[in-house]
Amino acid sequence: MTDNTATAPARRPMNSPKGAAIAGVLFALLFGVALVLIRSAMPQELAADGDWLNESATMRLSIGLSLIPFAGIAFLWFMGVVRDRFKESEDQLFSSVFIGSGLLFLAMLFVSSAIAGGIVATVPFMTDDTSRVEVTNFGRAVMLQVSNIYALRMAGVLLISLGTMWLRTGVMPRWLSFVTYAVALVLLFVTTLSLWVTLVFPAWVLGVSLLILIQNYRRRSDPVAAAV
């Protein structure tokens, strides 16, 4: 008797699309532009009698805030691409910290953006100048507390865990791990000194994404490396 049962094809792990590393480039560009627009719309220092939310500032805030959700989506893909490179060598402890801090960073980034969006939506309906100034100043302070104090420090924790995994597994160059540690220290301790220091994070994501794209291109060009 012959066995007509077809042999099931062997399953192989699904690899992330090589072009998915472009998500990091998109995040860096979208988040960088959004940061420039939002930061340029807000004053560096608050004044008790200053109404900084004029028509020009409102337009820049609105455009910047509209880019944040798409930047967040791209960042999720970037996290997936970075994690996929570890394969079986992934450390569960540091990977859990990496995922948790990344999701917390995104959640607080969205909360901060929602606060700014609420200010833009409600302030035009205030006729009392004193109340308008108080609301905008309070909203700006809360927004910067959430983004600069909490969100960026979670990004710093993300970088520390990621740099440690790179150093232990060797999936990325050692020099990148030390650069990542340096950027993490900036995010943890220096971001409160200037609003513009936050641009170092999208710049780091852009550099890592371009490096991954270059490595993927070299892997496709080398048949031996592509087969590994």
Regions of the chain where pLDDT drops below 50: 1-2, 5, 8-14, 224-228
The predicted model scores a pTM of 0.82
> Is the CB of residue 17 less than 8 Å from the CB of residue 41?
no
pLDDT at 126: 76
SS3 content of the chain, % helix, strand, coil (to 5): 80, 0, 20
pLDDT at 224: 47
pLDDT at 227: 45
pLDDT at 20: 64
Q: Nearest 5°: phi and psi at 182? A: -65, -45
pLDDT at 92: 81
pLDDT at 1: 47
HSE, CB side, 13 Å, CA atoms: give it for residue 65.
Answer: 20
Provide CB contacts within 8 A for 64, sequence distance 6+: 33, 34, 35, 36, 37, 38, 41
Domain spans, the chain? 20-214
CA distance 104 to 120: 24
pLDDT at 64: 93
Closest CA to 25 of 204, 215, 179: 204
Q: What is the CA radius of gyration of the chain?
A: 22
Read off the pLDDT of residues 35-64 as tens digits, 9 standing for 90 and up: 999 888 887 766 555 567 777 888 889 999
